Chains A and B, each alone.
Chain A
Amino acid sequence: MDIQLLRRDFFKFAGGSAAGLLLTPVPWRLITDTALWSQNWKWIPRAPRGEIHTRFTHCALCPAGCAVKARCVGEQPVSLAGVGVGGALCPFGLTAHHLPYHPARLKMALRHGDPVPIADAVRAIGEAVAKRAAGEYVAVLELRPGRTASWMFRRALAAVPDTVYLVPSALPETGVDFERVKTIVSFGFPVLDGWGTPGRVVARRDRFQLIQVEPVASRSAMLADLWLPAKPGSENALALGLRHLVAEGSAAEYTPPVVSALTGLEPAQIEAAAKMLAGNRGRALALGPGKAIADLNAAFEAPLVPLREPAVPKEWQPSPAVTPLAAAADRSIRVLFIDESLPGALIPWSAIERKLVRDNPLVISFACSRQGYARYAQFVLPVPVPSEVPHDLTGAGDSPASSFRIAVPLTAPPAGLVEPASIVAAACGAILPEKPLEQRAAAIHRAGRGSIVGYADEKSTPVKEIGFEGFWKTLNEGGRWEDEVEAATGVHLQRADDGEPPPQVEAGDLPLAVVLSAQIRPTATPLMTKLYQESGLRQAANQVVMNPLTGSQCGVEDGDRALLQTRCGKCEVRVILDSGAMPGVVQVEPSPGLVDICTGPSARGMVVRL
């Protein structure tokens, strides 16, 4: 039988095959493969591959120094997490491993904004130190004092005459036995938004009552048990009024009606706050600057304990004293080094500039970026980010005792960066001790006080029962040394210069009260900047928040560009109108530009629409 294949048969076969193919897995497989292929273009970044292991360290982005568990692929950290009970990290700590790759990172030395070899910069600085006239000072201003690096600066300055080691304000001499605290009255402190060790504070939230005294509706105010929106500048009066109610016979003239007139609060609100405090004598704590608040703590018998600085090698001791910036003589500093290698206090540039000689002072900034005081410095020298070099950390504000922890580096720094203390030493002709952290740890070990706690197992061992090798090893594996807790004194040891009282309103002053948030923020990862920008969770650096009524009085509307003017200067801002803001108040987030014009006596201002 002849089989004749016609062209029609061929088409029938092809058509049938095509139709049948649709009933097989082939097309679906093709779609899947195509989809997978389209998800794996060569320019799409690939996650690192390698052995996964865990390392323990501490976060150096703020003084709290939270314990960190780093998940690493090989040597590269890929995620960070908190350790232990209440050991959660803040958003900045969670992304600290991104900072080495920040696009704004500074990787070369600059002179007046132009690249300069580091050797040339050091030579020029050394000449300026050597050629200064008698009575002109060389100074180091450290934004995060109290570290071993601080001692290195002081040792370097000791090599030449007329030097001064400056800190933003006097170092704290008291700690808080936070476990005993039942009631906190906070005068503007961000108790639930970064104060102390953030994870520990919020984890203990159920066990203390919070009275937040603040004119703006901050996060702490919104989550407080009692929010007292006192008028800006009336905080001292409220503290005296509370003292009058808590400790009978003191501050007799500050009765609730008087305090009510000064603060704008209802007398019942003041009495309610006093009632919350009076029942917790010995367990209540007032947070804030100034003598009135220190006296309030004394009236409460607040659980404050003296803090002792961790031991220091004896040979480091003859060093310049720690001097608060405000105590330095005006127009006395010829060469000023500003250490911004770790985020710290924000000081208005006007307060620093006042200390410099009038004619051609030399300012050198050690910084990771050009955002801070680097804007005013002649030389900007690049330093490693906090996760690239070891730093030591002492206790946070909510700690009852000193501690010594090492922020063990997670990644290696790139080439071309400087170590700040060694630059100061080179300029002053000093020789610094080698391995200062290890020497400091040895001194602490020799002192024999306190105990060492390993984070991996939370095992506490008295220092006297461990050799130095084990002590040093534990510190480098994320462990912490904790001093013995001193007995609570019940007396607030805060010094009179521990903070300036809020400014009082004067007749004929500028119409608006400018309130600067107390929160200090480290550099944020690019990831977080965008997340916050999208969600509007954080006020952007150039934004001010005002009540709609105040806005209409100033002639500005929501989203307008405007000028914020104070007696110290003016800054361009964007206006956000929020009915939760106190009328007559401008709420400002701390940022380098705004801090320069918004603190101290300049805390009155006006907003002018552009």
Chain B
Amino acid sequence: MTTAKYGMTIDLDRCTGCGACMVACAVENNVPPAPAGAGDRKGITPIRVFKVDNGRPFPEHRTVFVPVLCQQCGHETPCVSVCPQQAVDVDPATGIVGQMPERCLGCRYCMAACPYHARYFNWWDPEWPPGMERTLNPDVAPRMRGVVEKCNFCHGRLHAARMRAAAAGKREIAAAGYVPACVEACPAGAIRFGDLNDSASEVAQASQQESSFRLLEQLGTQPKIYYRSRREWVREIAAAPHPPAMPLGRKTRVAEERKEKLRG
């Protein structure tokens, strides 16, 4: 079997921020609605669309929607390095960074290590409104509380594609036979998926274009998620520059004053 390196390109100039990718991911992977009291980081959003702006006032103000998911680091994958349970691994056949909730003991070292904040902890037992559990995807088991989750490029779909290929007597899966749910759902066609090792594939070619960039590339983790934009200010956000000075809200000001007091 040849070695693949699955990756994505996300065209930020096409993303409308509709959130279809987030919703499709949650449906595909049986992610439950978080309880009403869950805070911003306590729900599970394996792919999450952030609204980022250029920090300029009206009318120069511009925003872009940036879908952030597990970046599928290809080099010295931080979460793999720190996991004491070997619950995270990199599949050498696909390059996919996988997460095994059965092995996870919930220490959350991987969440601390991930520079992209792309991992989420299950704070609650999975629970759906009565009757809605009938709509769960039979290919994916719900996860218990106490384990970490993240995007695994819809492992259930990869498995199904392998089964189909095997049933057809083939060892390789067809490129069109395996597409993650977010890619399938994106109405704008902003998210593309494929084998980065296949130089003829659309993602391999798109990843080499000048408008292509990766998040926090300076860390050397070699993510397999490539973003694209013709706008320079959008490409600059990949390096996470210090945000420009913004007027602080009252709550932020109070917090800042407290910090100053603590510093003495």
Contact = CB atoms under 8 A, between A and B. Distances in A.
Interface of A: 32, 35-36, 38-39, 41, 43-50, 52, 73, 76-79, 81-82, 88-91, 94-95, 97-98, 100-103, 192-193, 198-199, 202-203, 205, 217, 219, 222-223, 227, 229, 525-532, 534-538, 547-548, 557-560, 577, 579-583
B164 interface: no
Given A76-B135, A202-B188, A547-B58, 6 more contacts: A95-B23, A525-B23, A531-B19, A531-B43, A537-B51, A548-B247
Interface in B61-114: 61-65, 101-103
B131 interface: yes
Interface string B109-150: 000000000000000011111111111111111111001000
Interface residues of B, number: 73
B58 A580 contact: yes
Contact of B187 (A79, A88, A583): A88
A199 B16 CA distance: 11
Nearest to B28: A79
Contacts of B140: 47
B40 to A, nearest CB: 6
B63 A217 contact: yes
Interface string B1-25: 0000000000001101111101110
A553 B17 CA distance: 31
Residue of A41, A193, A229, A535 most packed against chain B (CB within 10 A): A535
A222 B64 contact: yes
B249 interface: yes
8 contacts: A41-B125, A44-B125, A89-B185, A98-B132, A101-B128, A217-B62, A535-B22, A559-B249
B133 A95 contact: no
Nearest to B87: A35
B63 A580 contact: yes
B43 A528 contact: no
A333 B222 CA distance: 68
Interface of B: 13-14, 16-20, 22-24, 26-28, 30-34, 38, 40, 43, 45, 48-51, 53, 55-59, 61-65, 101-103, 125-144, 147, 181, 184-189, 246-247, 249-251
A203 B217 CA distance: 30
A535 B45 contact: yes
Contacts of A580: 53, 57-58, 61-63
Nearest to B103: A35
A39 B144 contact: yes
Given A78-B135, A222-B63, A580-B63, A39 B187 contact: no
A62 to B, nearest CB: 13
A144 B135 CA distance: 28
Given A534-B34, A535-B49, A537-B49, A49 B138 contact: yes
